[in-house]
Structure 1
Amino acid sequence: MGQLKLQDQLGWGDEYWAIRDGLEDMSLIRRGRGRGGTLSRVTESPEVETVSIPVDIDPTTQGEIAVNALRREAELYTPIAKVLGGDWSRDRRVRPLEIEVTAHQGARATGGRWSRPDLVWISVRTFQFLPQKVLEVITFEIKPVDAIDVLAVYEALAHRRAATHSYVVLDVPGDRAGALAEDIQAVRDVARSHGVGLIVFEDPEDYSTWDVLEEAQRVEPDPERLEAFIETQLSDGTKKSISQATR
């Protein structure tokens, strides 16, 4: 069942996520792909990786944006950032340290062509059996419905040189999905071949309309390149947060 539908039927709020995570840790349910994520009952015990990850998330956003039938790219950043900080993060059982819109930086030098992602999601994770803290920097390349092209994957690859994961996120209104199916498949094929993630959505504010078609593969960026990315792309507040969290 779609897990957001299940949450709605149960009439639960944020407590849903903690209960879901506990059932998953007990190997009673399994998460799956689908719009907003899906849940299925486990009849055979799977191998479960037990990790210590916080689940209470208090995402912030700078306001609501009206979405037209044909949305411009800039209008998508804030609602997508809100979902990434909320249901998307909770579904992955990870607390985001910061989520930053990095597209609006004017003429500031950030490292050349395709060096600037649209959104950056950052977390510092701890694990039960690993002594060190793990920094994850995920970049997102957003494309509105009239700009769906395989070129987006190569833009995401350029960002991934200094990130652990990269995603392409496509705006696909329901009434355009059929006409865009071939273009989306082309983007998916190229994304899969390069380990870039692919997300499509109908409504940027509604996680139940999001579908993760390809999960991004984790890579280990060169430390100097990652350091330079943080220095040139992120705000002073985010840099301070990273510095404090990784000490």
Structure 2
Amino acid sequence: MQPLRAYLEGAFRRGLDLPADGIVTVQDTSAMGSAKGRWTRPDFILISAMRFKFLPGAQVDVHSFELKTESGGSVPAVHEALAQTRFTHFGHLVWHLPERSKAEARLAEIEDQCEEHGIGLIRMRDPSSDGGCEILVDPARKKTLPAAIEGFLEARLTSEQKERLAGVVRGSG
């Protein structure tokens, strides 16, 4: 789990190309929120927020990340990541798939399923390496209802994280 957090806070964040005053919050949500329902707990979420210089309002994007082991990369794993987008804008499947793994035989099928459902696919080749993750499929933005996202974040962010996010949205943070 820690290598994924490091990747999200490092290389993934840099890839978002946020302005200097934009914020990113990464939260381990694997044990947070309701245990009711199927596939309701992504392993991590990442929230980015920024304000515009000339346009009114703020842009908030919520990403969910489902981490799977070498043997866990499967079509149901893609569907799990997809189900989590009922609370987020973007869903990602992060698959720990080392080089020359026997599970590489499933990679093309998983890529196709991710493409079809608009789910991002991140291959984690070597969790101990800074460059150990590679984005294979970019996610598509989902039209998730703001009320669903709001409730999801309310249940999973700390008071400090909520206040910081609200500050950016209000233009005071």
Superposition map of 1:1-150 within 5 A: 77-94=1-18, 96-105=23-32, 109=34, 112-150=37-75
Instruction: Assess if the C-alpha contact under 8 Å between 1:145 and 1:172 holds in 2.
Output: yes
How far residue 220 of structure 1 moved from its aligned partner, in angstroms, is: 2.9
Highest RCO, 1 vs 2 (Cα 8 Å, sep ≥ 6): 2
Per the TM alignment, residue 110 of structure 1 is displaced from its structure 2 partner at its CA by 5.2
TM-score, normalised via structure 1 length: 0.63
Greater strand share, structure number? 2
Give the direction of change, closer, same or farther, for the CA distance of 1:222–1:110 in structure 2 (3 Å limit).
farther
Change in Cα spacing, 1:220 to 1:85, as seen in structure 2 (3 Å) is: same
Cα pair distance change 1:235/1:111, threshold 3 Å = farther
Gaps of 5+ in 2: none
Q: Quick check: 2:43–2:67 contact (8 Å CA) kept in 1?
A: yes
Structure 1, gaps ≥5 residues long: 1-76
Determine which structure has more spread, i.e. the larger CA radius of gyration. 1
State the 1:111 CA deviation: 5.1
The Cα offsets for residues 93-121 of structure 1, whole Å up to 9 and x where unpaired, read as: 1354210000023xx52552211110000
The within-5 A match list for 1:149-188 is 149-176=74-101, 179-188=102-111
- Give SS of 1:174's match: coil
Q: Are residues 110 and 241 of structure 1, via their aligned partners in 2, closer, same or farther at CA, if it must alter by over 3 Å?
A: farther
Flag the 1:91–1:227 CA change in 2: closer, same or farther, 3 A. Answer: closer
Q: Is the 8 A contact 1:125 1:136 kept in 2?
A: no
Shift of 1:129: 4.7
Q: How many aligned positions are there?
A: 167
Report if aligned partners of 1:100, 1:120 keep a CA contact under 8 Å in 2. yes
Question: Pairwise CA RMSD of aligned residues?
Answer: 1.8
The two structures have a TM-score, normalised by structure 2, of: 0.87
